[in-house]
Structure formats: C-alpha cells, structure tokens
Structure 1
Amino acid sequence: MTKYIKIFVLFLTLSACGQNTNGMKTPENANEKFAEFIAKKKFIAKNHYAGIADEKMRPIFTEKVNRAAADFKNVAESENPTEKKYQEKIKIGLSRFAEVYMELDTEDRERVCTYFEELMDIVGLESSNGQLNRFMYGFDPNEMTNKN
C-alpha cells in the first residue's frame, strides 16, 4: 500500500512541475514573424479591403499597430509570457486608437482587428477575451448570447 502512495505522490509532484499557470511558450520563429509583420505595408487594398478611407491617416494607424507588435514582441521575449500579459497588451494597443476612433470607418476597424489577430496567431494566443469585439462593435456579442 505504501508503494502505491509513494507512486501517487511522485505522480502528483511530476504533474505539478509540468504545469505552467497561464504561461505560454513563445514559438521559435516569433521574432522573424514579428519583423515581417512590422515591415509589411498596412492598410492597403487587399482581398475585400479597399484600403484606408483617409490616406493621411495611414502612417498614424500603421504606427499604432506596429507599437502593438512591439508590445507583443516584448512579452514574447520576456521571462514568463502569459495570456494575461498579452491580453493587457491588446487592451493598451486598442486604447491607442481612442483618439482617432472616429476617423476609422467600419472596414478600417475590421483591418485593425485583423492585425491584432495576426499578432495573436504569431504567439498562439487563442482569444482576445472579447476586446476585439468591443473595439469593433462597442460591445462583445458573445456576452449577449451568454445571458440568454
């Protein structure tokens, strides 16, 4: 019986050691992907997106998106990247658009969200916790469906 208890305790110890609370492993090619992301021209006509509505806003919006990429890169390179840290960077990144929010038409807001989704994909973050929906629509539609 004691042998089984020892094995059970050993198993629990090994299980606990293997857990990383909300920690995320940064993909090996993340730095390369961040560099590519920052270097690419943004808010240009692509797929169903006609390009930025007001051309003079392109460098301003691009700079805000690239700052978010730099924020994500800093978290990715940190000792302990976590979902919570990335969520905070999404919040900060989206808040940078507050002063120019009225300059963003619907397609431009969608494009901003697409860029954030690309950043999330680089690090393997699966959810913005509704932040992108709140930015896009002013509320999180998922919260509405969860109340019913």
Structure 2
Amino acid sequence: MTKYIKIIVLFLTLSACGQNVMEMKTPENSTEKFAEFIAKKKFVEENYYPGIANEKMRPIFTDKINSVASDFKSVAESENPTEKKYQEKIKIGLSRFADVYMELDTEDRERVCTYFEELMDIVGLESSNGQLNKFMYGFDPNELIKEK
C-alpha cells in the first residue's frame, strides 16, 4: 500500500513541477482582445494614473508595450502555447524598457506593469513569476518571504 502512495506522491510532485511547460488553452476571443489592446491609446490619464510624465516618450513606450502584445499573440496562436513561452515573452518585453528605464517615473512603471497584467489576463496567465515585481521594485518581494 505504501508503494502506491509513494507512486501517487511522486506523480503529483512531477506534475506540479511541470506546470509551466504544460500547454495552455488560448481563450477563443483572444484575437479580438489583442486587437483592442493594441488599438487603444496608452499612457493616457485614466483611473488613478495621471498620464505619462514625459509626453515625448508616449510613442516609444506605446511601441514597446504593443510589441509585447504582438509577442503574446504569436504565442497564443502557436500550436502549443505554454506558460514557459509566455514567461519568456514577459522577460523579453521588460528588457525592451531597459534603455528607457530612467525615463519611467513610478506611475509610468506601474502603468507598464498594468499593461503586462492586462495581456496576462487575455491569455489566462496567472503569474509573471516575480518578473513584474523585479521590474517595478528592483527585486521580488516574494523572494524575501521565501527566505524567512
């Protein structure tokens, strides 16, 4: 009996470890949602966001975030979209902001993260695995919790 329990525990552990490589089901309306996302005007005043601090940077930031949307769309339309592929696109997308990072004030960085979260919602991705926290704060606060 314990042999079977060990096998079940091993199977569950292996399945949990492989979660990020498992195929994700792309929502049926994702193509329309990506098109809406790319079409909307970005970095404008809305809700609690005051709008972009440096107006000259709006087209640059918009192009960068729209590139992320295109990357996500290509994964969503691929034969086997996986969490790992989306995580890689988040990493690439955030790296696109490296050359303008000093131009982003706190509100603009928060807005960038919000746009990433919107894209993640379109495809049903639940976590950036700390990448957005590292972009926003320079570290992942969840890592501090794990260390304690």
Cα distance in 1 between the residues matched to 2:22 and 2:89: 15
How many Å apart are 1:61 and its aligned residue? 0.1
CA distance in 2, matches of 1:61, 1:41: 11
Larger Rg: 1
> Partner residue of 1:143?
143
Alpha-carbon offset, residue 139 of structure 1: 0.3
Shift of 1:22: 1.4
Aligned partner of 2:36 in structure 1 is: 36
Deviation of 1:146 after TM superposition, in Å, equals 1.0
In structure 1, runs of 5+ residues without a counterpart are 1-20
| Equivalent pairs, count | 130
Q: For 1:128, what is the secondary structure of its paired residue? A: coil
2:13 maps to which residue?
none
Structure 1 residue aligned with 2:15: none
Task: Give 1:107 deviation, angstroms.
Answer: 0.3
Deviations 1:59-93 (CA, angstroms, capped at 9, x unpaired)? 00000000000000000000000000000000000
Letter in 2 for 1:97: F
Report runs of 4+ in structure 1 exceeding 6 Å deviation: none
Matched, 1:124 2:124: yes
| Matched ranges for 1:9-28 at <5 A | 22-28=22-28
TM-score (norm 1): 0.86
Q: Which amino acid aligns with 1:81?
A: P
User: Percent identity at matched positions?
Assistant: 81
Q: Equivalent residue of 1:111, what SS?
A: helix
Instruction: Provide the aligned C-alpha RMSD in A.
Output: 1.4
Name stretches of at least 5 consecutive residues in structure 2 with no aligned partner. 1-20
Structure 1 distance, partners of 2:82, 2:63, is 25
Q: CA deviation at 1:135?
A: 0.2
